[in-house]
Structure 1
């Protein structure tokens, strides 16, 4: 998914009606539904971990299942941290703590969380394929399974998939970067949530500013706390998009 989709329009004006509706939907799906479903998933995974990591569970299939449950848990936690938290902050952009999280903490969180989640997802998918093949060999070719499905080869396969997953997703670390808001428009759009229209009592749109200099001046103290998550030249190349889409 492109950075622009996951950045959740952090640096856009919060006064736009359409964006307000979008924020509400984001909060419903990512701020409420996702954590609720994720909580049930975490409970189920904890129960699986208790069973699968018992000392007597030592079959090759169990090793695959252990890897699956750990990657599943990591994906759930990563999605909650990367999506649920930022969707909640967008409902109250005027709150200093939430504004700081949106414009300072989240831009730094996105790249590592995206890398970890996508690496775990890659590992999870291929681990599912591996355990399927392992079960097929064990059931349909029981005599060959003794030599093919042993502990050593299982560990090698799990390790190989993990290394390939990490190597495959390394370019994601260089597809986005955090920059300071060094553009006047970025200052205005990032700070407009802190300005109020005393005539109507609603958040002022950027277009409603009488003078752009006034807008910047009123937000001047927040310049150092304004960061922007942008796509790098690598992330915008067609080859990069094809690399992850094909």
Structure 2
């Protein structure tokens, strides 16, 4: 879900032929191809199939309109994110192999950088804050059930989802005006190549330090992580107390509402853990690109990128594992009924 660009905006200042090899090695390129040219495309295909089938199954589910809206929004945002991630991470690598290196890295990647990066960061933020909305909804539903119906109406949920989309769209606009594209020498071909450079706005202190570092860290990491961990802990404590009471009364099965909550808590917990790793990566990113340190690239950013794509592609597995009704409906879409009820 959250994404760290494969090429940082600090790197874009030095996008000349000599600068492209900075901190790179042939072994790194091999690992990069395996991660972005093999693993990510396979995960994206898997995610497409799973998310599309999930969208179909959710239409058959008998659940509350609020839970249905949130789950559908999550599915759509996951599909949008993995599509943008594939364009940003895999397409330059694959085109570099299928066509030539210059076309993949210095034509497609650079000409499409502004648009793809903007869409990717927008889908990332939208996905994150839909999960934040879900965590607030589950907290109120479980811990304050009497007020849930009053606060979370269908209209208000739709407005909140649209509000997240609008906020994500507007918040990332500075990324469009922070860079500019110019022609540059190619590595080894005669085609016209391009490089991405920071514009005057991108070079400003307000963008470099405030927007791209501190505001980004707070909006994309600190707020979502704190909200998700805090509210999920409160929800889990409440569910454990309810489960204890059921056992005292001789009841074993969880209610349908609780199963939906458990499913969403698992999804949010996995996301929060990966997001925490992303936050660690962000701290490392700031440290690495400080003027006093060498700009040596590590595998950490690439591992985090792949984990985000995996996270947005496997949520349906959690639905299958936890939801009996979902599992039964999902199995009906598979020609070979290998998923038991």
Alignment TM class, shorter chain as reference: 0.7 to 0.9
The structure-2 alpha-carbon separation of the partners of 1:69 and 1:11, relative to structure 1 and needing over 3 Å to count, comes to: farther
Residue in structure 1 matched with residue 199 of structure 2 by the alignment: 232
Matched, 1:244 2:212: yes
Residue in structure 2 matched with residue 125 of structure 1 by the alignment: 128
Aligned residues: 207
- Mapped to 2, the partners of 1:170 and 1:86 lie a distance apart of 23
- Contact persistence 1:27–1:91 (CA under 8 A): no
Residue in structure 1 matched with residue 55 of structure 2 by the alignment: 49
Residue in structure 1 matched with residue 44 of structure 2 by the alignment: 38
Q: CA deviation at 1:71?
A: 1.0
Residue in structure 1 matched with residue 106 of structure 2 by the alignment: 103
The structure-2 alpha-carbon separation of the partners of 1:179 and 1:14, relative to structure 1 and needing over 3 Å to count, comes to: closer
- Contact persistence 1:30–1:87 (CA under 8 A): yes
- Mapped to 1, the partners of 2:44 and 2:56 lie a distance apart of 18
Which protein has the larger Cα radius of gyration, Structure 1 or Structure 2? Answer: 1
**RMSD of the TM alignment (CA)?**
3.0
The structure-2 alpha-carbon separation of the partners of 1:10 and 1:147, relative to structure 1 and needing over 3 Å to count, comes to: farther
2:69 pairs with one of 43, 63, 66: 63
Q: CA deviation at 1:167?
A: 0.9
2:117 pairs with one of 103, 114, 117: 114
- Mapped to 2, the partners of 1:10 and 1:32 lie a distance apart of 28
Q: CA deviation at 1:14?
A: 8.5
- Contact persistence 1:89–1:99 (CA under 8 A): no
Q: CA deviation at 1:61?
A: 1.6
Matched, 1:139 2:145: no
Q: CA deviation at 1:143?
A: 1.8
Residue in structure 2 matched with residue 82 of structure 1 by the alignment: 88
Stretch moving more, 40-49 or 123-132: 40-49
- Mapped to 1, the partners of 2:21 and 2:145 lie a distance apart of 65
The structure-2 alpha-carbon separation of the partners of 1:15 and 1:138, relative to structure 1 and needing over 3 Å to count, comes to: closer
- Mapped to 1, the partners of 2:89 and 2:72 lie a distance apart of 26
Find the residue that maps to 1:3 and give its secondary structure: coil
Q: CA deviation at 1:114?
A: 0.8
Structure 2, gaps ≥5 residues long: 215-341
- Mapped to 2, the partners of 1:86 and 1:12 lie a distance apart of 19
- Contact persistence 2:80–2:123 (CA under 8 A): yes
Residue in structure 2 matched with residue 3 of structure 1 by the alignment: 9
Structure 1, gaps ≥5 residues long: 182-186, 195-218
Q: CA deviation at 1:40?
A: 2.0
- Mapped to 2, the partners of 1:3 and 1:163 lie a distance apart of 24
- Contact persistence 2:114–2:175 (CA under 8 A): yes
Q: TM-score scaled by structure 2? A: 0.54
2:158 pairs with one of 155, 158, 162: 155
- Contact persistence 1:10–1:102 (CA under 8 A): no
Stretch moving more, 16-25 or 137-146: 16-25
Residue in structure 2 matched with residue 201 of structure 1 by the alignment: none
Residue in structure 1 matched with residue 248 of structure 2 by the alignment: none
Q: CA deviation at 1:44?
A: 1.6
Q: TM-score scaled by structure 1? A: 0.72
